[in-house]
Amino acid sequence: MKRFTWFNATALTLGFAFLYVPMIILIVYSFNSSKLVTVWAGFSTRWYGELLQNEEFLDAAWVTLKVAVMSSTIATVLGTMAALVLVRAGRFAGRTLFSGMIYAPLVMPEVITGLSLLLLFIGIGLERGVLTIVLAHTTFSMCYVSVVVSSRLVTFDRSLEEAALDLGCSPFEAFRLVTLPIIAPAVISGWLLAFTLSLDDLVIASFTTGPSATTLPIKIFSAVRLGVSPEINALSTLMIAVVTVGVIIASLVTKQAAIRQARDERMAERPA
Amino acid sequence: MAQTVFAPWNDPDEKPLIQFRGVTKRFGDFTAIDNLTQDIYAREFFALLGPSGCGKTTMMRMLAGFERPTEGQILIAGQDMSRVPPNKRAVNMMFQSYALFPHLSVWDNIAFGLKREGRDKDKIAARVEEMLRLTRLSKFAKRKPHQISGGQRQRVALARSLAKAPKLLLLDEPLGALDKKLRQDTQFELMDIQEKTGTTFVIVTHDQEEAMTVASRVAVMDEGQIIQVATPDQIYEAPNSVYVADFIGDVNIITGRAAPQGDKVAIRFAEGQPEIIGTTTKTFEPGQEIHFAIRPEKVAIDTEEPEDTPNKLRGKVLDIAYLGNISTYHVELPTGLIVKAQTANTRRISRRQITWEDTVWISWTDTAGVLLDR
Amino acid sequence: MRRAFLIAVPYLWLVALFLIPFVIVFKISLSDVALARPPYMPQLDLSAGWDGVKSFFAELDFENFAFLTTDDLYWKAYLSSLRIALISTALTLLVGYPIAYAMARAAPEWRPTLLMLVILPFWTSFLIRVYAWMGILSNEGLLNQFLLWLGAIDTPLTILNTNTAVYIGVVYTYLPFMILPIYSALERMDDSLLEAAEDLGCSRLSAFWLVTVPLSKNGIIAGCFLVFIPVIGEFVIPSLLGGSGTLMIGKVLWEEFFSNRDWPVASAVAIILLLILIIPIILFQRNEQKQREAEG
């Protein structure tokens, strides 16, 4: 018997209002025709038009997307390897250091990660730009990927892999044909996480970028430092819309898969 | 010294401890308890038996105060309980999941209820020690619930619910999580503790053997109603319906038409088969539908036609289930009806002469079965 | 062979891009600032051979750390970061616990949706979520407009660019990190435990304190660390919502680096920040470990 009382109803209403009202206000005011962001002067999509004319923002968006795709893809490969090492490789020299290096970036303040990578890039004379941001993002997001994937690997039934080996697979084939398809959902959510982290990152990108590459968060940050602007509201609305649609699609896909599986199981139980 | 039989329900002067008066409980459209009236007496070990969803758990939860009746009243010691919250009732419950507090030690779990009463520390300590001794848990007092075995957890739950010396102890499937051997031992332990403490126990179970073993009275429930309340032997020997007969133990049910013959009733159940003769105190109309219920162990099986018996039928052995101490024979009558007969294996296996496909005679006396109208 | 490859690739990557940079930060924190490119001394001069290495190490010192203790800007910034992190963690717990509690008590078919609603903001840009409050909290912002309209205040409140705005921003952006571990602890809790507590004489409130709170303790601890640790080094929130009076070490480090171009001092600030963080991180790890053992 779960007790759902007025207290719980109030907590949920207020809690979710707190989480969502600011974003709703942001979205509503992106359609404000006035330049003064706090005064409502009628509906308009003017700022969206201006945003699409603004080449600086478009360039920044393109750079951000490139960085996010590259870094999250590399991070997924490296992170999955790291997860396999953590869960499967047993003992080896420097294992403690290795797991330390996996977990440390998760709690490391971004300012420190950014600073240290910048000092490295300067030290080895690497020109700062898209490449250095990709390297930086890959490094911290691979740790997130490896945490996500290794939590799935821990519960993976190894006898499945052994069965594949028994049936003539090479170890790599067993991984590719059996392990990977089964852990795929975790790998995909690892990729999504890495992608989002990269899209979102301001601090590390600010440290590791050079004049040639400006990402969207850097652009937004320098704009909003000067105050609220309707163009940023429009941009924020677009970003919120993309993420919301993405999350809803992802959850529908998972739900559909769960429903299909449940139906298949029912079908299987029915006598032929 | 002759021991008086414990049967307060037969004593008109005895006041019941618990009274259900026309209690109905509905959850939305679903009626869990349907206009139920029942008395339970002090010091009873009362079992609520039935399949899942029959309303037995709801009855217990209403006694504990977690549910309120939709209609009717529940009285404990003459007091209407409908406005009394669980924490103000002299009733404690042993939960099916045991509900042991995982963050507290065995000792603190047992002391939990006592501390709420605000008794002084020495008294609490003394009472906890007493409960630990009673349930043989003294060695484990400092352990956490996840550091002890299932059987020990069960005893902690029992000790915790008994610690406040409640007037009434409710046990929700108390042995359900234990394996069979442990369950049997624990059943006797429960009875022993019930006797020592003199507490009234109400137990909910779906296991008929458990109910029969521990209870002074068993209430068989179905769809929110109590079908029969009686002592275990009466429930077994004199069920009042096919439902009860079938629910408790193994039974053969033969359905036919009644033909009353003085104090006996003949049952015609199939063309070309002899009538079955049974004895009953109930009256049956001629031609009325009647169910004859007989336990397999009361059916004799022979290779040769028995003499001097009111009921005998010929059939063929279809199956033999050897259970060690007993064997059950499935005998198919020429009508296709299968009757189970049970014999005790008092001889070694090689000496028994009945085997598959043998033609045999089954027989029983005219008082061996029960005649039922529903 | 294959195993060695599997280990070597992520290992070397992390050594090259995590460990070595970190060593560099440590080294630079021991150097002196210089008007050069890169702007610090000494430089390791390998062409000078062994003498170069020796003179390099000879010039390293703890001067920057000594400087941090003499200039009260820094230790005030550390203390203020700790204070802000502590207060905002407590506020987040206060806001987050009732939400997590109500979610865990909601009907099971609702819970996945509620969970998604809590996680959804996490996927949207952190920067945007902080930015959203700028328009609400400013002097002419919506909150002040609303309060003036209600008649609750006569003159606009100054909230933006104060510590209050920082607290609001932290609670808002870190709320999911507090809710999720508490929710998962509460959701796992068997309801019959509460019934057992009531059965043994607890009122609902005392059952909450004696059973629900202790059983969600690990979730509370995890949630608090998940908020506390990153907030100490937080940069975006204090620089957008905080004022000139809001001292936080992440912001100081940023300014030291980008505005003053004093890399050695920035590195020293980073090293101290890390030393401060080690304690809560170890405590957090221990809590997680304990929880795993309790479950296993």
What b/e sequence results for C241-268 when a residue is b if at least 16 CB atoms lie within 10 Å of its CB, and e otherwise? bbeeebbbbbbbbbebbeeeebbbbbbb
Separation CA C156–CA C201 (nearest Å): 51
Count of CA atoms in the C-beta half-sphere (13 A) of A165: 9
Q: Confidence class of residue C169 from pLDDT cuts 50, 70 and 90?
A: very high
Instruction: State the Cα–Cα distance between residues C10 and B368, nearest whole angstrom.
Output: 81
Of residues C88, C68, C161, C126, the one with CA closest to residue A204: C126
Length of chain A, in residues:
272
Q: What is the pLDDT of residue C285?
A: 84
CB–CB contact C17 A135 (8 Å) = yes
pLDDT at B1: 42
Contacts C196 to B, Cβ<8 Å: 93, 95, 99, 101, 160
| Cα dihedral sign, C290-C293-C294-C295 | positive
* Confidence at residue B2, expressed as pLDDT on a 0 to 100 scale: 46
- In a 10 Å sphere around its CB, with 0-12 CB exposed, 13-18 middle and 19+ buried, how is residue B33 labelled? buried
Q: What H or E segment, with its residue span, contains residue A174?
A: helix A171-174
Asked if A252 is an interface residue toward chain C (Cβ–Cβ < 8 A), one would say no
The CA distance from B171 to the nearest CA of chain C, in Å, is 12
What string of DSSP letters covers B127-163? HHHHHHHHTT-GGGTTS-GGGS-HHHHHHHHHHHHHT
Q: Is B242 exposed, middle or buried (0-12, 13-18, 19+ CB in 10 A)?
A: middle
The answer to pTM > 0.80 is: yes
Q: What single-letter DSSP state applies at residue B2?
A: P
Q: Please give the mean pLDDT across all residues of chain C.
A: 87
Q: Count H helices, E strands: chain B?
A: 8, 20
- The CA angle B248-B254-B258, to the nearest 5 degrees, is 120
Contact call for residues C204 and C245 (beta carbons, < 8 A): no
- Element at B112 (helix H, strand E): helix B106-116
pLDDT in tens, chain B (374 residues): 445 678 888 888 888 999 999 999 999 889 999 999 999 999 999 999 999 888 999 999 999 999 999 999 999 998 999 888 888 888 999 998 899 998 899 999 999 999 988 889 999 999 999 999 988 899 999 999 989 998 899 999 999 999 988 989 999 998 887 888 888 888 888 888 898 888 999 999 988 888 998 999 999 999 999 999 999 999 999 999 999 999 988 899 999 898 888 788 888 888 888 888 888 888 888 888 999 999 999 998 888 888 888 888 999 999 888 888 888 999 999 888 999 999 888 776 655 678 888 888 999 988 888 989 88
pLDDT of residue C34: 66
For C201, nearest residue in chain B (alpha carbons): B87
Flag whether residue C192 sits within 8 Å of chain B, measured between CB atoms: yes
pLDDT of residue B107: 95
CB proximity under 8 Å: C 205-234 to B: 206, 210-211, 214-215, 217
Q: How many residues can be counted in chain B?
A: 374
In sequence order, the 6+-apart residues with CB closer than 8 A to the CB of B80 are B73, B74
> Is a pLDDT exceeding 50 seen at residue A17?
yes
Give the residue among C236, C281, C268 at the shortest CA–CA distance from C70: C268
Is the pLDDT at A219 greater than 80? The verdict is yes
Calpha distance A4→A11 (Å, rounded): 11
Residues of A whose CB is below 8 A from C250: 109-111
> Which residues of chain B lie closer than 8 angstroms to C203, CB-CB?
87
- Answer yes or no: is pLDDT of A1 > 50: no
Q: Are B222 and B50 in contact (CB under 8 A)?
A: yes
Q: What pLDDT does residue C107 have?
A: 87
Q: Nearest C-alpha of chain B: how many angstroms from C219?
A: 14
Residue A173 or residue A205, greater confidence = A205
C196–chain B Cβ distance below 8 A for any pair:
yes
Q: Which helix (H) or strand (E) holds A189?
A: helix A180-200
3-state SS, C29-97, equals HCCEECCCCCCEECCCCHHHHHHHHHHHHHCCCCHHHHHHHHCHHHHHHHHHHHHHHHHHHHHHHHHHH
Q: Which alpha helices (H) appear in B199-268, and where do they start and end?
A: 208-214, 232-237, 242-247
pLDDT in the model for residue C154: 86
Residue of B207, B280, B292, B193 lying closest to B252 (CA atoms)? B292
Residue B121: other Cβ atoms inside 10 A: 10
State how far Cα C220 lies from the chain centre: 16
- Interchain CB distance below 8 Å, A1 and C95: no
Domains of chain B by range and CATH? 8-243 (3.40.50.300), 250-372 (2.40.50.100)
Interface of B with C (CB under 8 A): 64-66, 85-87, 91-93, 95-97, 99, 101-103, 112-113, 116-117, 146, 160-161, 164
What is the C-alpha separation between C60 and C267, in angstroms, rounded?
Answer: 13
How many CB atoms sit inside 10 A of residue C106's CB? Answer: 19
Q: Which domains does chain A have, with CATH numbers?
A: 56-227 (1.10.3720.10)
Q: What's the burial of C89, exposed, middle or buried (CB within 10 Å: 0-12/13-18/19+)?
A: buried
pLDDT tens digits, C110-138: 898 899 899 888 888 899 999 999 989 98
Which residues 101-130 of chain C have a CB within 8 Å of chain A?
101-103, 105-107, 114, 116-121, 123-129
Q: How far apart are CA C44 and CA C26, in angstroms?
A: 14
- Quick check: helix, strand or coil at residue B371? strand
Separation CA C129–CA C174 (nearest Å): 11
Percent of chain C at pLDDT > 70 equals 91
CB contact under 8 A, C125 and A239: yes
Question: Considering all CA atoms of chain B, what is the largest pairwise distance in Å, rounded to the nearest integer?
Answer: 79
The closest CB to that of C128, out of A15, A239, A244, belongs to: A239
Alpha helices in chain C (DSSP H): 2-14, 20-29, 49-58, 63-70, 72-105, 111-123, 126-137, 142-150, 163-188, 191-199, 204-207, 213-215, 217-232, 236-240, 249-258, 263-295
Q: What are phi and psi of A199, to 5 degrees?
A: -60, -35
Contact C7 A89 (CB under 8 A): yes
- What is the predicted pLDDT for the residue at A271? 58
Q: Set out the domains of chain C in order of their start, with CATH numbers.
A: 72-295 (1.10.3720.10)
Nearest Cα residue in chain C from B168 = C199
Between positions 1 and 40 of A, the ones with CB within 8 A of C are 1-5, 7-9, 11-12, 15-16, 18-20, 22-23, 25-26, 29, 37-38
Residue of C6, C22, C230 lying closest to A81 (CB–CB): C6
What b/e readout covers A6-22, taking b as 16+ CB neighbours within 10 angstroms? eebeebbeebbeebeeb
d(CA B291, CA B372): 5
Q: Touching check for A244 and chain C: CB below 8 Å?
A: yes
**Angle between helices A55-88 and A180-200 in degrees, nearest 10:** 140
Query: What is the number of alpha carbons within 13 Å of residue A17 lying toward its C-beta?
Result: 6
Torsion angles phi and psi, residue B365, rounded to 5: -80, 170
Q: Quickly state the pLDDT bin for C36 (edges 50, 70, 90).
A: low
- CB contact at 8 A, C234 and C250: yes
**Nearest alpha carbon to residue B143 among B131, B152, B134:** B152
User: Quick one: closest CA in A to C226, which residue?
Assistant: A107
* Sheet bearing B289-294, strands edge to edge: B276-279, B264-268, B252-261, B289-294, B370-372
| C contacts of B161 (beta carbons < 8 Å) | 199-200
C190 at the B interface (CB within 8 A)?
yes
